[in-house]
């Protein structure tokens, strides 16, 4: 995606996204490559380090969520959550 596309997707000003992209690039998490058909546009893509960082973040979140569900919810609450997630999935599936 281009910086402008990212800004639109995140509903922020392009100038704000430019600052974010620059910081991520300096950290080695993203890189830029020329757009294949528009020579004026650069596309933003995750680097290997960026992919690994994102995977680590998701893993930490998933571990936290799993532990909360197992340790803090009753069996009845876990069933309610499962039913609620099925409803959310149905809603999401209507978008596809």
The reply to whether 9 and 33 lie within a common domain is yes
Q: What is the DSSP letter of 39?
A: T
Distance CA 27, CA 47 (A): 10
The reply to whether 25 and 57 lie within a common domain is no
Say if CB 2 and CB 37 are below 8 A apart.
no
> pLDDT tens digits, residue range 66-93?
999 999 999 999 999 999 999 999 999 9
Of 30, 28, 3, 37, the C-alpha closest to 17 is: 3
The reply to whether 62 and 41 lie within a common domain is no
The reply to whether 31 and 9 lie within a common domain is yes
The reply to whether 16 and 41 lie within a common domain is yes
Query: What φ, ψ does residue 7 adopt, rounded to 5°?
Result: -60, -45
pTM (predicted TM-score)? 0.65
The reply to whether 42 and 57 lie within a common domain is no
Q: How many domains does the chain have?
A: 2
Arithmetic mean of pLDDT, 54-66: 94
The reply to whether 35 and 67 lie within a common domain is no
- Domain span holding position 36: 3-46
Question: Sorting pLDDT into bands at 50, 70 and 90, what band is 39?
Answer: confident
Q: What is the DSSP letter of 40?
A: T
Q: What's the token pair of residue 72? A: 């803090």
């Amino acid at each position: 995606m281009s910086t402008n596309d990212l800004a639109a997707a995140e509903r922020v000003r392009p100038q704000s996204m430019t600052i974010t992209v620059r910081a991520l690039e300096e950290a080695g998490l993203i890189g830029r490559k020329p757009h294949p058909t528009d020579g004026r546009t650069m596309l933003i893509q995750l680097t290997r380090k960026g992919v690994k960082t994102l995977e680590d973040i998701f893993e930490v979140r998933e571990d936290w969520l799993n532990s909360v569900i197992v340790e803090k919810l009753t069996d009845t609450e876990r069933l309610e959550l499962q039913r609620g997630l099925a409803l959310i999935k149905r809603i999401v599936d209507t978008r596809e």
